[in-house]
Amino acid sequence: MKPTTLTPLNSNQGRVITRIKQLLCAPLAMAMIIFAMGCDRHNSASTAKFVDDDDTSGRVSTALKADTAYKFPDVKVTTFQGTVQLSGFVDNASQKDRAAEIAKNTTGVKDVKNNISLK
C-alpha cells in the first residue's frame, strides 16, 4: 500500500472554508446566546417571585406572633404571587377576622384568602 499524502490548501480554498465556518457558526452562536439569555431571565424572575413570597409569608407570620391580643400559634401562612393564604385553627370568629386584618396590613400582601377554621 502506498501512503497518502495531504496536499496543502491554496489560499482560495482556505478562504472558502473560513467563510463557510463563519456562515455556519455565527447563527448557531447567536441562537445559543439568545436561548441562554431567555432562560436566565425566566429563572431569575421565578426565583425573585419565590423569594418575595417567602419574605411576605415571614412578615405576616411575625406580625401574627407580635399581636398583643392573640399569638395565633395554630395559623399557617402561605404566599403565592402576593396572595396570602391563612389556614389553621383559632378559638373564635374575632380571632379569624383579626388574623386577616393583620395579614392585609402587612407589606407585600396583595390579597388575603382566609381559610382559618374555628376549633
Of 40, 20, 97, nearest in space to 64 by CA: 97
Q: What is the pLDDT of residue 18?
A: 80
The greatest distance separating any two alpha carbons of the chain, rounded to the nearest whole angstrom, comes to: 99
CATH for 11-118 is: 3.30.300
Dump pLDDT digits (tens) for 55-99.
Answer: 999 999 999 999 988 888 999 999 999 999 999 999 999 999 999
Dump pLDDT digits (tens) for 19-39.
Answer: 887 777 778 878 877 777 666
Q: In DSSP terms, which residues pair with 84 in a beta bridge?
A: 79, 112
Q: How far apart are CA 24 and CA 44, in angstroms?
A: 31
Which residue would you say has higher pLDDT here, 77 or 13? 77
CB atoms within 10 A of CB 25: 10
H helices within the chain, ranges in order? 11-66, 93-104
- Residue-range domain boundaries for the chain: 11-118
pTM comes to 0.60
